[in-house]
Structure 1
Amino acid sequence: MAILNRRQLLAVALMLLSGCSYERTIRYTLEPPEQTLILEATGYAVVESQPGSSYEDKLLLAMAASRQDAYRQLAEQLYGKKLTASSSAEQSVLLEDTVQSQVQGVIKGAELIEATVDGKLFVTRLKLDTANLITLPQASLTPASPRQKWWR
């Protein structure tokens, strides 16, 4: 067995100790926002344009479509809308211009205000009080006090 010289021993010790580091855990407390908003959204759907053999089938599908439209509008207000646009031109002539939009989010606690037939439309109105939201995007993160114990 070969005996390591001092340089090799020092190099091995440095490699072994370099993996050791101090880990610091920062705990955060959730604080409610100072000002809350009440968001309202209205969804519409045309009853006659829905597929179905009877008026009742069309009405049920219009109810679902208008509710989905109202929830989409709430998500758009709460989270925003992602837009993707592209254009193509050849010799200074616009050939194609497309815009796509996407909304993604989770809506919890929305209150149904109204779901009625208004002429040829089915209308759904929703309300969302942001004070009731217990989700991370609505809370501000501030470091906990160093005197505050994490287990309390």
Structure 2
Amino acid sequence: MMKWLAVMLLVAVSGCSTSNNGLNSNLTHSNELVSAVGYASISEQNGRTQEEKSLRAMRASKLDAYRELSEQIYGLRISATTSLSNQQLGPETTDGAVDGIIRGAKVIRSYPVGDNYVTEMELNLGLMERMKQHGEVFHVPNNQQVMF
């Protein structure tokens, strides 16, 4: 009886470990997972053959899913302007941008639906935090301003 109790206590105590960042090392909480879906039109892609267009749409839908993950984690920067001239509303513009580093995301499924390619991705936030400690981030210059 005493041995059984000691074994049960040992099992209970060994299951209570946490990682350095305070997140449980195994995936037990659904709020540690972030999901995203990316879409891309196949017919709108540049390419000589249907296979090339499909491949480009597959890659574009994956990038769209990464963008969606970035929006969920880092937020979306909105810039809006409105002009007023002679008490009349003039042109209005609204731009959105997202910037972030995503590490450890997994493609769950990637498949065509009609003329679109769909990519479903999932990210474990605890894994991403642990991966941040193992690599440097370098700024990649971009001369194009990307707005959604």
How does the TM-score come out when normalised to structure 1?
Answer: 0.65
| One of 79, 86, 91 as aligned partner of 2:86 | 91
- Pair 81,59 (structure 1): closer, same or farther in 2 beyond 3 Å: same
Map 1:1-152 → 2, pairs under 5 A: 30-33=20-23, 36-134=31-129
Q: Give me the whole-angstrom Cα distance separating, in 2, the residues matched to 1:135 and 1:84.
A: 32
Aligned to 2:8: none
- Superimposed CA distance per residue, residues 87-110 of structure 1 (whole angstroms, 9 cap, x where no aligned partner): 112123222111111111110100
| Structure 2 contact 103–131 (Cα < 8 Å) conserved | no
Q: Give me the whole-angstrom Cα distance separating, in 2, the residues matched to 1:64 and 1:104.
A: 19
Structure 1 residues not aligned, in runs of 5+: 1-29, 138-152
Q: Give me the whole-angstrom Cα distance separating, in 2, the residues matched to 1:123 and 1:134.
A: 27
The one-letter amino acid paired with 1:131 is G
Structure 1 or 2, whichever has the larger Rg, is 1
TM-superposed CA distance for 1:61, in Å, is 1.2
RMSD: 2.0
Aligned to 1:144: none
TM-superposed CA distance for 1:66, in Å, is 0.5
How many pairs align? 108
TM-superposed CA distance for 1:43, in Å, is 0.2
Q: Which has the higher contact order (CA 8 A, sep 6+)?
A: 1
**Percent identity over paired residues:** 33
Q: List 4+ stretches of structure 1 deviating above 6 A.
A: none
- Superimposed CA distance per residue, residues 67-114 of structure 1 (whole angstroms, 9 cap, x where no aligned partner): 110000001111111111111121232221111111111101001100
Structure 2 residues not aligned, in runs of 5+: 1-19, 133-148
How does the TM-score come out when normalised to structure 2?
Answer: 0.66
Aligned to 1:15: none
TM-superposed CA distance for 1:51, in Å, is 1.4
Counting strand residues as a fraction of each chain, which structure ranks higher?
A: 1
Counting helix residues as a fraction of each chain, which structure ranks higher?
A: 2
Q: Give me the whole-angstrom Cα distance separating, in 1, the residues matched to 2:53 and 2:131.
A: 39
Other structure's SS at 2:47 match: coil
